[in-house]
Amino acid sequence: MTAPAVPPAASPAAPLALLAELTHRCPLRCPYCSNPTALTRPGEELDTAIWARVFQEAAALGCLQVHLSGGEPTARRDILDLVRAASEAGLYTNLITSGVLTGGAKLQALAEAGLDHVQLSVQDAEPASADRIGGYRGGHAKKLEFARLVQASGLPLTLNAVVHRQNLDRLPQLVALALELGAGRLEVAHVQYYGWALANRDALLPTRAQLEAATATVEAARRALKGRLVIDYVVPDYYAKRPKSCMGGWGRQFLAVSPAGRVLPCHAAESLPGFDFPNVRQVSLRWAWEASEAFNRFRGTGWMPAPCRGCERAEIDWGGCRCQAFALAGDAAATDPACALSPHHGVLSLAVEAAVEAGFEFTYREPQKVPG
């Protein structure tokens, strides 16, 4: 491994967390998957030793936690070794999983290896719909059984529900499911539209009425369940007037490493053309974070065009999402169309109108299919 020298300029603050995308392999085929449309082959994945070094470098850089993700991270045969390596590096370990490949013995082994937390994805509260959305027959039942194993193990559990037009009406049942399964946290995450989700946007975008009902459900549940269940709520940008602070700002709080070793400011950044993202096979994680052109290109506010430049929210939303700007405006440096001041803001209304007339069929996440 070569490690170019870090320039003497002031270093950015340390990232809070590392997303370790261990593999793109997954038995589910979710049509909103955040993986890139060009999936990494198993033979191109980082090996155990490189991941162990990455975890050590992440801890030395200042990361406090690592999210072990995929695809499905437990598809890796060395998942126990990877959890152990992350734990020995001093990182808080969170497994982001579909739950369909892990039984009681494996879960116990993961806990003994140092696993601290489990985040389980669910596609719906209704079994048939959940299995249809995930493209995996019997998956929902396996998830429920896995959640009960997590509860019995004593590991803390977060339930992650990605919501959209085809399951949002059952949000009250998803809240009830989180309580039934003993989750301490429920993430109600509206689909974010890039990659596979962008290809399925017409089938996934909720109506405004659905969104307003969901927001009311979340607010009521937060009041009623305070102290029992924490509910995170990520709303869709397509009804926004101002953009979100995507990942806390480009290169400010978060970094990801892809299965092939590319170091990214967010898990979707590989969708952006014109970037030479550094790879942990050639450089250190610190160099990628502090010195690489890819991380510095949209860091801070100096890169911003009007109307972002000089805006009072420039250091609140940090320009919004670069991947969304590219997907909708064709330019990663453009003002995020989620902002009402963007000249491209109208494309969101057009997308919502188109979705109202669309059907419900999906293009599923599959290696041989490239949406576009």
User: What are the binding residues for [4Fe-4S] cluster?
Assistant: 26, 30, 33
Q: Which residues participate in the annotated binding site?
A: 26, 30, 33
* List of E strands, 191-311: 230-234, 254-257, 263-264
Determine contact, residues 32/204, Cβ cutoff 8 Å: yes
Dmax over Cα atoms in the chain, in whole Å? 57
Query: Exposed/middle/buried for 215, CB within 10 Å: 0-12, 13-18, 19+?
Result: middle
The DSSP call for residue 246 is G
Q: Which long-range contacts (CB under 8 A, 24 or more apart) does 43-50 make?
A: 44/259, 44/260, 45/76, 45/259, 45/260, 46/22, 46/257, 46/259, 46/260, 46/261, 46/280, 46/281, 48/78, 48/81, 48/82, 48/85, 50/261, 50/280, 50/281
Q: What is the dihedral of CA 318, 242, 64, 272, to 10 degrees?
A: -70
